[in-house]
Structure 1
Amino acid sequence: MNDEQLLRYSRQIMLPDVDLDGQDKLLAAHVLIIGLGGLGSPVAMYLAAAGVGHLTLVDFDAVDLTNLQRQIVHTTARIGMNKAASAAQSLRELNPDVRVDTIEQLLDADALLAQVKMVSLVIDCTDNFQTRFAINAACVAAKVPLVSGAAIRLEGQVAVFDARLKTSPCYRCLYEEDSDDLTCAANGVLAPLVGVIGSMQALEAIKLICGFGTGLAGRLLLLDARHSQWRELKLPKDPCCPQCSK
């Protein structure tokens, strides 16, 4: 690290859990963020600010006026711009030291797996089960940790699925393939809720990279924002899971 980096990251370097060694790990890490909407916005901004050295952003969608109520990485001037490109612009302004790559198209299974194999961990910030199952399958195959989040209406959840651990469940252990999608367009969502869940995803990612604390593998956190209540559920590995039991 140079003197400017030591100053930029000084407030987290002084934490015993991070220290210089942890900051070096962050600078060397490569994180794949899929979805640059409500969850991906705080995830990308916090990881860039924290000094994760290489971020690859994946999103085929364009910024829409209705996104701006909660997708804080974008601006009004960028309406119509691809979300990955818009987010990359914000992140480069926030921290020029971070390498930011963008993928502005849908990835098929092979392309997704190829991307997952190149990174330290994956953060799923998408909003539909088909994509989440595809991301999970790639992470299980490549044995790359997956940080998963979801938020709708006034409810959110966050979990970690770590295929490196024999006892860790995968996303398919939690949901059946015929689960119904709930969309913000149809159901609504409160802006700060996605900020809370996205921030928790960024926190879990930093913990995984630096290697401190107790991770969420095998646990599911549920947030009831209406009553400001968190619940924790134990999530065991499904021995009959069609994805991770193979």
Structure 2
Amino acid sequence: MTFTDEELDRYARQIVLREFGGAGQSRLKAASVCAVGAGGIGSAVIPALAGAGVGRLTIIDGDMVSLSNLQRQSLYRSDQVDQPKAPLAAAFVEALNPFVTITACEQRIDTANAAELLAGHDVILDGTDNFMTRLAVSDSAVGLGIPLLSAAAAQFQGQVGLWRGHEPDQPCYRCFVGDAFDADDCDSCAELGVLGALTGTVGNFAALLAIRTLAGVGEDPAGKLHLFDGLTGDWRAMTLRKDPGCRACGSQR
């Protein structure tokens, strides 16, 4: 894959990395990523992926900007309150990097439309804030055979995991959370609160894992759940196993 002189200049600090190089940058340029959610986590994920040079980026979000979002959603401005997030996020990407092909989907994702919206991507990155949506995305990712990066933040706690439940020895997100929260009445940031900087920390870490995965750099993080404590600044990781009884990816489904 070839690069223009402007692209080579734009991505020079990545290309010069021994582990990354031109091969890694070419893989990014050829990649297609779907960002589900353009909220607090998406506000870190979307600029990081676009700046890094992901070739195609789809943004799915059916919400409007609200004043209470601006504490953690740096994609938006005060004069954009009550405007739809997805096209605003797409406009941000277009201004940041004209070499990224951007698609904005101004709709909510659910079990009825998830497979259609997610198909054709190399990685899905979910930063939504309720279990009903996250499980719909996870189940569709398993069915489509697409790796899923799931990122969440609440109060001072963050978590990020890369799931490949479509593979026989790898768990999916449902293996982690089960079916207990498969409802539309779970707590969100509005009830629990969240420190704005935490969503940026979690979102940028998720973007880093996505870039590593797409570029083939570093160890494969699949099947590990990374937990961040914003009160101590500590990260820890735990390895999860596939649940044979999981109704999305288990052997008994």
Given the two structures, how large is their TM-score scaled by the length of structure 1? 0.96
1:209 to 2:209 alignment = no
* CA deviation string 1:117-152 (max 9, x = no partner): 211110001000000000001100011000010000
- Give the match for residue 157 of structure 1: 159
Q: Which residue in 2 is equivalent to 1:229?
A: 234
Residues 159-178 of structure 1: matches in 2 within 5 Å?
Answer: 159-178=161-180
Equivalent residues in 2 for 1:1-246, closer than 5 Å: 1-179=3-181, 181-245=186-250, 246=253
Q: 3-state DSSP class of the match of 1:96?
A: coil
Aligned residues: 246
Counterpart-to-counterpart distance in 1, 2:113 and 2:192:
32
Distance in 2 (alpha carbons) for counterparts of 1:6 and 1:164: 36
Deviations 1:178-197 (CA, angstroms, capped at 9, x unpaired)? 22723111111001100010
Q: CA deviation at 1:108?
A: 4.2
Amino acid corresponding to residue 73 of structure 1 in structure 2: L
CA positional deviation for 1:99: 1.1
Q: Distance in 1 between matches of 2:39 and 2:146?
A: 23
**Residues 181-238 of structure 1: CA deviation (Å, up to 9, x unaligned):** 2311111100110001000110011011111211321111111111112121111111
Contact 1:160 1:215 in 2 (8 A): no
Q: Counterpart amino acid of 2:83?
A: M
Measure how far apart 1:176 and its partner are.
2.4
CA distance in 1, matches of 2:102, 2:206: 19
Which shifted more, 67-76 or 113-122? 113-122
Task: Tell me the alpha carbon deviations over residues 63-85 of structure 1, each in whole angstroms, 9 at most, x when there is no partner.
Answer: 00100000011111211111111
Q: Assess if the C-alpha contact under 8 Å between 1:46 and 1:202 holds in 2.
A: yes
> Distance in 1 between the 2:167 and 2:139 partners?
15
What is the distance in 1 between the residues matched to 2:166 and 2:215? 16
Answer yes or no: is the 8 Å Cα contact 1:152–1:182 preserved in 2: no
Gap runs ≥5 in structure 1: none
After superposition, give the CA deviation of every residue in 1:26-46 in whole Å (9 maximum; x if it has no partner).
111111100000001110000
| 2:166/2:249 contact within 8 Å kept | no
Residue 199 of structure 1 aligns with an amino acid whose one-letter code is N
Return the letter of the residue paired with 2:31: A
Aligned-residue RMSD, C-alpha: 1.2
The Cα of 1:164 is off from its aligned counterpart by 4.9
Give the C-alpha shift of residue 115 in structure 1.
Answer: 2.5
Equivalent-residue separation in structure 1 for 2:220 and 2:68 (angstroms): 34
Instruction: Give me the identity figure in percent.
Output: 40
Q: Please state whether the residue corresponding to 1:109 is helix, strand or coil.
A: coil
For residues 214 and 80 of structure 1, the distance between their equivalents in structure 2, rounded to whole angstroms, comes to 42
